[in-house]
Amino acid sequence: MPQVADEPRIRLTGITRTFEVGGTEVRALVNVDEEIRSGEHVAIMGPSGSGKSTLLNVLGCLDKPTSGSYFLDGREVGSLESAELTQVRRHKIGFVFQFFHLIPRLSAVENVELPMLFAGVPKKERRERASTALAAVGLADRVTHLPEQLSGGERQRTALARATILEPSILLADEPTGNLDSSSGRVVLDILDRLNDEGLTLLVVTHDPKVAHRADRVIVLVDGKVVKRVPGDRVVEVMALLAEEEPEALEPGEPGEPGEGTKTGE
């Protein structure tokens, strides 16, 4: 894709996203300005409801901001037609979710093939590439397994293989380890790091300081506003800030979030 020399991969100016709920306005994002360089690894943190997922959805072209501009590789996304948006979603962006979102009736390899299916890649090539991608995330012997036959970590690695199969330039991960135990989570994070080392721009929404620690930079959202930007190795400062904002969220042993906040891995 053509790219102007020092144009950031992502540039947000004044991004605001409001929802109408029962006559009142919920402001999920308020006037967000942000630049993300190509190949950067960014963690997005913030209390529950602070707008992290909303930001990711806007970045992934699944949602449109109420106002503001989003430049992706120098092109304003708001001006793109729906066919172009489909192309952007297909070829520039990969998505990974907390709940994996694998299609339950399709095998691992069929799930990984999906993006290629809609991109019109021929069947034989699809199968080859998807198998290779599964092998690359350590699932060579799980190719024909159904999602229900895979562990959480294996499901997320399958989802990762699917998200990156068309070689996007940006990977958006919304709490990718949120549903995993710490060792499965670590495997997934190592794969993300490796992809980032290979040049993939990586944005990870997380509550987990261990996850954020790996990032080049941490962005902190509170009530839809960016309130802090620090390098990844200074995530402790973020935790202190969040402890003031939302003390209960950082209690050890949150349901469904094993290992979050307390144990210090590695």
Partner 1 sequence: MAAKLSPGDLLRFSTTSLRGHGLRTGLSLLGVVIGVMAVVILTALGDGARTYVVDQFASLGTNLLIVLPGKTETSGSMGMGGVPNDLTLEDAQTVERSILEVSRVAPVVMGTEELAYGERRRQLAVVGTTRKYAEARDLKIARGDFLPAGDMFRGSSVVVLGAQAAREIFDEADPVGEIVRVGGWRMRVIGVMATQGTKLGINFDDIAIIPITTGMQMLNRTSLFRMVIQVQAYADIDSAKDKVIALIEERHEEEDFTVLTQDSMMSTFASILDTLTLVVAAIAAISLTVAGIGIMNVMLVSVSERTREIGLLKAVGASSGQILTAFLTEAVFISASGGLLGLALGWTAVKILVVFFPALPASPPTWAVTAALGLSIAVGGIFGLLPARRATQLDPVAALGQR
Ligand X SMILES: Nc1ncnc2c1ncn2[C@@H]1O[C@H](COP(=O)(O)OP(=O)(O)OP(=O)(O)O)[C@@H](O)[C@H]1O
Footprint of ligand X on this chain (CB under 6 A)?
A: 19, 21, 26, 28, 46, 48-54
Binding piece for partner 1, criterion CB under 8 A, among 36-44, 73-81, 118-126, 190-198: 118-126
CB of 241 to ligand X, least distance (A): 15
- Footprint of partner 1 on 152-191 (CB under 8 A): 162, 166
DSSP string, the chain: ----TT--SEEEEEEEEEEEETTEEEEEEEEEEEEE-TT-EEEEE-STTSSHHHHHHHHTTSS--SEEEEEETTEEGGG--HHHHHHHHHHTEEEE-TT----TTS-HHHHHHHHHHHHT--HHHHHHHHHHHHHHTT-GGGTT--GGGS-HHHHHHHHHHHHHTT--SEEEEESTTTTS-HHHHHHHHHHHHHHHHTT-EEEEE-S-HHHHHTSSEEEEEETTEEEEEEEGGGHHHHHHHHHHH-GGGGSTT-TT-TT-SS----
CB of 97 to partner 1, least distance (A): 7
Which of Mg ion, ligand X, partner 1, none interacts with 21 (beta carbon under 5 to 8 A by kind)? ligand X
Q: Map residues 57-96 to x or -, x wherever contact with partner 1 holds by CB under 8 A.
A: x--x-xx------------------xx--xx-xxx---x-
4 binds partner 1 (CB under 8 A): no
Of 51, 29, 46, nearest in space to 243 by CA = 46
Smaller CB separation from ligand X, 50 or 179: 50
Which of partner 1, ligand X, Mg ion, none interacts with 166 (beta carbon under 5 to 8 A by kind)? partner 1
CB of 245 to ligand X, least distance (A): 12
Smaller CB separation from ligand X, 109 or 205: 205
CB of 106 to ligand X, least distance (A): 26
Which of partner 1, Mg ion, ligand X, none interacts with 49 (beta carbon under 5 to 8 A by kind)? ligand X
CB of 52 to Mg ion, least distance (A): 5
Task: Give residues in contact with Mg ion (CB under 5 A).
Answer: 53
CB of 19 to partner 1, least distance (A): 10
* 3-state SS, one letter per residue, for 119-177: HCCCHHHHHHHHHHHHHHCCCHHHCCCCHHHCCHHHHHHHHHHHHHCCCCCEEEEECCC
Give me the residues that bind partner 1 (CB under 8 A), please.
Answer: 57, 60, 62-63, 82-83, 86-87, 89-91, 95, 97, 99, 101, 103, 105-106, 110, 114-115, 117-120, 122-123, 162, 166
